[in-house]
C-alpha cells in the first residue's frame, strides 16, 4: 500500500477497505452507474426482449423458421426468453457490484465517524450530519430493495424457462417477473441522486444539504465555503485553518489573512497562475504556511478548487456579485451611491429556492443606519425588512482609479476586495417560490425615515429542474406500472386456481 493511499484513506479507514472501495468505485463510475450506465442500459434491453418473447409466444417469424430454428432447435419466443433472462442476470450482477460498493462506502463512513470520536472531534454534533446520515442510509436501503426485487424476478424467469410460456402458470409468473423488473427500475432511479463515496475527499458533498445558513456572512468567503462542506470535510477544514493560523505574519489580522487566502484561491479557480497565487499567499502567510496550502496532500489544491466549484454551483448569485464588485474596482468605476457600496444579486433561474445576496459597505467616516427591504408576491416570505448599522469605513478600500489584479502589497484588486468584504456587510436571504413561471423581486435600500436610497427590481424564472422532473416521472411511472402488472398477474393466477 502506497503512502498516498494510506493518507487519503483517513485515520479511521483500514487500507484494505479503502483499496477495495477505490477499485470498485472506478469500475462503478466507468461501467455500472456512470459511463456506460449498465444499471440503466441492461434493464431497458431486458424488458424489451422479454416483451418480444411474450409477443411471439406460439408463433415464429418466417426468417426464423427457415434459417435459424433448424440449427438452434428452439422457438423464437423461447430464445428471446433465454436472452432476456441472461441480460436480467447481468443486471443483477451489476446491481450487486454497485450495492457492494455502496456498502463499502457506508462502512468507511461509519469508520471515519468512529475515528473522529476517538480524536475527540465528533462530527455527529455538527449541523447537517443527521440529514446526511439519513440520506446515506436511505441510499443503502433502496439499493438493497432494488437488488432483492431483481433477484426475485430472475428466479421467476428461471422458473418460466423450466415450465415454458405455454402454461397458464408460466404466463402469470412471467408477467409478475416482468413487473418486478419494472418495479426495480423505479427503486433504482431513487438512488441516482445523493451519490456518495469515501475514496474522494469531496465524495460526500452530493449527499449533504446545508439545513441552515447564516443570514449575515461575517467572514464572507469562509462562511460561504463552510456552509456547503459536509461534516467530515468541515472538521478537516477547521483543523487546517487552525494550523494555518500559526503561520500568519506578524501584524496581519487573522480574519483578513483567512479571507485573503480564500479570495486568492478563488482567483486561482478563475485562472490566476500558480506563481502569482504563491506570491499573494506569502503576503499574509509565512513560507511554511503557503507550503501547506499549495502542497498538502490531505487538503490539496485540487480539493480547494472542487470546493469552490461546488459552492459556486449551489450559490451562483454570490460569486456573480463578488465578480461584479471586483470588475468595478479593477476598472475604477464609482459605486452606485457616493458614500455607500450597494450590490444585490439573485439566481436567474430558480428551482427549489432562491438565494438573495446583498452587499453594503459604508464609505463615509460616520456610522449610518439603513433599512434593507425585500418585496415579492411570488416568493415566501412576501416581505422582508431588516435594519443594519453600518460602521464607518476603516480604510479607503474603494478606489476611483484602475487597479491591477495582483501586485506586491494590498494596493491591488485582491487586497482591496479582501478588505472591502471583511469590513462590509453581506446579507444572505433564502426565498421560497410559490409558483412556476416569471417572478419578480423588488429590493429597496432606505433610510430609517423611509426615504429611498436605491432600489432594484430583479426578474427571475422559476421552474422545475429537468433532471429532477425526468427522474421523478420515470420513478413514479415504472413503480405504478410494475405494481399494476404484478397485481394483474396475481389476479390471473387466483382466477386460474379457483377455475373462475
The structural domains of the chain, with segments of one domain joined by +, span 3-202+469-497, 210-314, 315-462
pLDDT for 12: 52
For the chain, the first-to-last Cα distance in angstroms comes to 67
Q: Which whole-number Å values give the CA distances from 160 to 78, 99, 380, 464, in the listed order?
A: 10, 27, 56, 43
Residue in 432, 428, 400, 439 with CA at minimum distance from that of residue 416: 400
Question: Does residue 157 surpass a pLDDT of 90?
Answer: yes
Distance CA 206, CA 228 (A): 10
Domain 315-462: give its CATH superfamily.
Immunoglobulins (2.60.40.10)
Asked whether the beta carbons of 308 and 229 are under 8 A apart, the reply is: no
What integer is the mean pLDDT of 243-260? 92
Whether the pTM exceeds 0.85: the reply is yes
Asked if 457 and 440 count as a contact pair (C-beta separation under 8 A), the reply is yes
Q: Nearest to residue 353, comparing CAs of 315, 323, 327, 322?
A: 315
Q: What is the mean pLDDT of the chain?
A: 90
Q: Are 304 and 333 in contact (CB under 8 A)?
A: no
pLDDT at 273 over 50: yes
Give the contacts of 386 (CB within 8 A, at least 6 positions apart).
371, 372, 373, 427
pLDDT at 42: 96
Confidence of residue 335 (pLDDT cuts 50, 70, 90): confident
Residue 147 cell numbers, joined: 437488488
pLDDT per position as a tens digit, 340-393: 899 999 999 998 899 999 999 998 888 999 999 999 999 999 999 999 999 887
Question: pLDDT tier at 296 (50, 70, 90 boundaries)?
Answer: confident
Q: How many CB atoms lie within 10 A of CB 392?
A: 13
The predicted structure's pLDDT at residue 9 = 41
Cβ atoms within 10 Å, residue 49: 19
Amino acid at each position: 500500500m502506497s503512502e498516498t493511499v494510506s493518507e487519503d484513506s483517513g485515520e479511521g479507514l483500514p487500507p484494505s477497505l479503502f483499496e477495495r472501495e477505490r477499485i470498485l468505485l472506478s469500475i462503478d463510475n466507468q461501467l455500472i452507474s456512470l459511463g456506460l450506465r449498465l444499471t440503466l442500459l441492461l434493464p431497458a434491453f431486458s424488458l424489451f426482449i422479454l416483451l418480444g418473447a411474450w409477443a411471439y409466444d406460439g408463433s415464429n417469424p418466417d426468417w426464423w423458421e427457415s434459417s435459424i430454428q433448424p440449427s438452434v432447435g428452439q422457438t423464437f419466443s423461447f430464445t428471446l426468453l433465454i436472452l432476456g433472462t441472461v441480460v436480467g442476470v447481468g443486471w443483477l450482477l451489476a446491481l450487486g457490484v454497485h450495492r457492494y460498493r455502496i456498502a463499502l462506502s457506508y462502512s468507511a463512513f461509519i469508520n471515519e465517524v468512529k475515528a473522529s470520536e476517538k480524536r475527540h472531534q465528533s462530527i455527529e454534533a455538527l449541523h447537517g450530519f443527521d440529514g446526511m446520515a439519513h440520506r446515506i442510509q436511505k441510499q443503502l436501503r433502496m439499493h438493497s430493495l432494488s437488488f432483492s426485487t431483481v433477484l426475485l424476478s430472475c428466479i421467476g424467469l428461471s422458473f418460466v424457462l423450466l415450465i415454458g410460456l405455454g402454461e397458464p402458470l408460466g404466463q402469470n409468473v412471467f408477467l409478475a417477473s416482468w413487473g418486478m423488473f419494472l418495479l426495480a427500475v423505479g427503486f433504482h432511479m431513487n438512488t441516482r441522486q445523493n451519490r456518495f463515496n469515501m475514496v474522494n475527499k469531496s465524495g460526500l458533498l452530493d449527499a449533504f444539504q446545508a439545513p441552515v445558513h447564516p443570514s449575515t456572512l461575517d467572514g464572507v468567503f469562509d462562511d460561504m465555503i463552510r456552509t456547503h462542506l459536509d461534516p467530515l470535510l468541515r472538521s478537516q477544514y477547521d483543523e487546517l485553518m487552525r494550523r494555518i493560523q500559526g503561520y500568519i505574519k506578524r501584524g496581519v489580522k487573522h480574519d483578513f489573512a483567512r479571507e485573503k487566502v480564500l479570495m486568492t484561491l478563488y482567483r486561482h479557480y478563475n485562472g490566476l497562475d500558480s506563481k502569482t497565487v504563491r506570491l499573494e499567499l506569502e503576503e499574509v502567510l509565512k513560507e511554511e504556511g503557503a507550503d501547506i496550502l499549495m502542497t498538502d496532500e490531505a487538503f490539496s489544491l485540487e480539493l480547494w478548487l472542487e470546493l469552490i466549484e461546488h459552492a459556486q454551483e449551489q450559490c451562483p448569485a454570490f460569486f456573480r456579485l463578488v465578480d461584479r464588485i471586483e470588475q468595478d474596482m479593477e476598472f475604477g468605476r464609482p459605486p452606485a451611491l457616493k458614500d455607500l457600496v450597494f450590490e444585490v444579486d439573485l439566481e436567474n433561474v430558480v428551482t427549489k429556492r432562491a438565494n438573495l445576496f446583498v452587499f453594503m459597505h459604508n464609505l463615509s467616516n460616520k456610522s449610518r443606519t439603513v433599512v434593507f427591504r425585500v418585496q415579492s408576491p411570488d416568493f415566501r416570505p412576501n416581505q422582508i425588512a431588516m435594519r443594519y448599522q453600518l460602521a464607518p469605513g476603516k480604510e479607503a478600500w474603494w478606489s476611483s482609479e484602475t487597479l491591477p489584479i495582483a501586485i506586491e502589497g494590498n494596493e491591488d484588486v485582491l487586497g482591496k476586495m479582501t478588505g472591502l468584504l471583511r469590513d462590509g456587510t453581506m446579507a444572505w436571504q433564502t426565498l421560497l417560490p410559490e409558483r412556476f413561471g416569471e417572478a419578480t423581486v423588488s429590493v429597496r435600500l432606505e433610510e430609517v425615515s423611509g426615504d429611498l436610497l436605491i432600489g432594484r427590481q430583479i426578474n427571475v424564472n422559476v421552474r422545475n429542474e429537468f433532471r429532477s422532473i425526468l427522474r421523478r416521472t420515470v420513478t413514479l411511472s415504472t413503480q405504478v406500472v410494475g405494481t399494476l402488472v404484478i397485481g394483474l398477474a396475481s389476479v390471473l393466477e387466483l382466477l386460474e386456481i379457483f377455475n373462475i
